[in-house]
Amino acid sequence: MSTYKQAGVNIELGDQSSKAAYAAAKETFSARKGMIGEPLIQDGGFAGVLDMGDHYLVMGDDGVGTKMDAAIQADNFETLGEDLLAMVADDAVCIGAEVIAITNTIDVNKVNPRQIEKMMQGLKNACLKQRITIAGGEIAELGASVKDMVWNATAMGIVEKNKMLTGKDVQVGDKVIALRSNLFRSNGFTLVRHILQKHFGENWHLEEFEDGLTWGEMAMTPSKLYHHAILELMGRYGQERRVKVHGIAHITGGGIAGNINRILKVNQLGVELNDLWEPQEAMLQVQKFGNVEDREAYKTWNMGNGMMLIIAPEDVEKTLEILSQNEVEAKICGEVIAEPKIKIKNCGAFQKEDVLEHDL
């Protein structure tokens, strides 16, 4: 049986480290007390928020993680930019923010202009589609300090104060809409690579998945970007909101329960998710190769569901229509309930449990 911890990632220690880092960050908030840019305390939030008077400035950081290692092995860098932008832009939009710019840093053992050109062309194309500018960046050649390459980004967004999403508007009876993902996105890749290498060997990326598609090509399936489509619901800065969005969860590290909990806990409500998108066949095969228990899979990967929206019931039909018009597959997958539990109908590879339950 394979777990994320066995692959080298300890989620519990990571959570402890994040709490320690945020605790230190909060101690700096007093430095801007009563001044422009005073921070809001957002425990468990998807991005940092600064009070700019008549609006909020939103900032957040993330990277492509060890999907970069898969890109290097498969020599495929064209779509990594979509992954990078998705990790930061789709976090910021969870609190209603329109991302207007990003910066990015490439820390590399030895500079390879061909690789970096492909990476930046992919990022450029993704940003143009999402109406985001690349405001700056840095390339650092660090020699032995970095084994191969690390690519991270910082996003900057804005949101009107009356349109910021905090989870406080979520109520019993709200509908949950699941946005279908493109496979693993850029999360849990340490476990993906660990399993495929153990199953196929060092050259796992050359093995055929199906119909001539290799596992290396499968692994580099780009993340689906939701930022623009969600702004079509929320309205960009200065635009009217078209539907009543009460909460948004980006399903990244920690899986469905770990991320939707971040908005449900505000009102101590729960959710029953009984019609999620099923994991793609490639995801199920990786799960089977590694004998990854369903609970572990749902904790590590998005399992076919890249984003979840909590919507007022009367706005569901309009929400689905707008998302479809913006090339996002979406469907009602559940409902907010009074009991403070997260109940997930299990669509994993083994299904020893029909429902996976988590306390808030």
User: What would the pLDDT profile of 72-96 be if each residue is shown by its tens digit?
Assistant: 999 999 999 999 999 999 999 999 9
pLDDT recorded at residue 235: 93
Look at the alpha carbons of 143, 146, 151, 153 in this order and tell me if their dihedral is positive or negative.
Answer: negative
The answer, yes or no, to whether residue 15 has pLDDT greater than 80, is: no
β-pair partners for 175: 311, 335
Q: Count of CB atoms within 10 A of residue 27's CB? A: 9
| Largest separation between any pair of C-alpha atoms in the chain | 61
- Distance, in Å, from the CA atom of 246 to the CA atom of 308, rounded to the nearest integer, reads 11
Give backbone dihedrals phi and psi of 82, rounded to 5 degrees, phi first.
-65, -40
User: Which residues neighbour 69 within 8 Å (Cβ) at sequence distance 6 or greater?
Assistant: 148, 189, 193
- Helix (H) or strand (E) run with residue 87 in it: helix 80-92
Task: Spell out the domains of the chain, with CATH numbers in brackets.
Answer: 38-162 (3.30.1330.10), 175-359 (3.90.650.10)
Give the neighbor-by-neighbor strand order of the sheet with 305-311: 245-250, 305-311, 175-180, 330-337, 270-273, 341-345, 355-359
- Distance, in Å, from the CA atom of 186 to the CA atom of 222, rounded to the nearest integer, reads 8
Return the SS3 of 299: helix
What's the pLDDT tens digit per position in 123-173?
999 999 999 999 999 999 999 999 999 999 999 999 999 999 999 999 999
Residue, of 5 and 147, whose pLDDT is higher: 147
> What does the mean pLDDT of the chain come to?
94
pLDDT recorded at residue 46: 84
Reading the block at residue 27, the tokens are 């101690």
- Distance, in Å, from the CA atom of 32 to the CA atom of 59, rounded to the nearest integer, reads 16
Confidence of residue 9 (pLDDT cuts 50, 70, 90): confident
What's the pLDDT tens digit per position in 214-239?
999 999 999 999 999 999 999 999 99
Percent helix, strand and coil across the chain, each to the nearest 5 = 40, 25, 35
The answer, yes or no, to whether residue 11 has pLDDT greater than 80, is: no
**How crowded is the C-beta side of 115, counted as CA atoms within 13 Å?**
20
The answer, yes or no, to whether residue 4 has pLDDT greater than 80, is: no
Cα angle for residues 65, 69, 75 (degrees, 5° grid): 130
pLDDT recorded at residue 41: 85
The model's pTM is: 0.94
Confidence of residue 274 (pLDDT cuts 50, 70, 90): very high
Bridge-based pairing state of the strands 133-141 and 355-359? unpaired
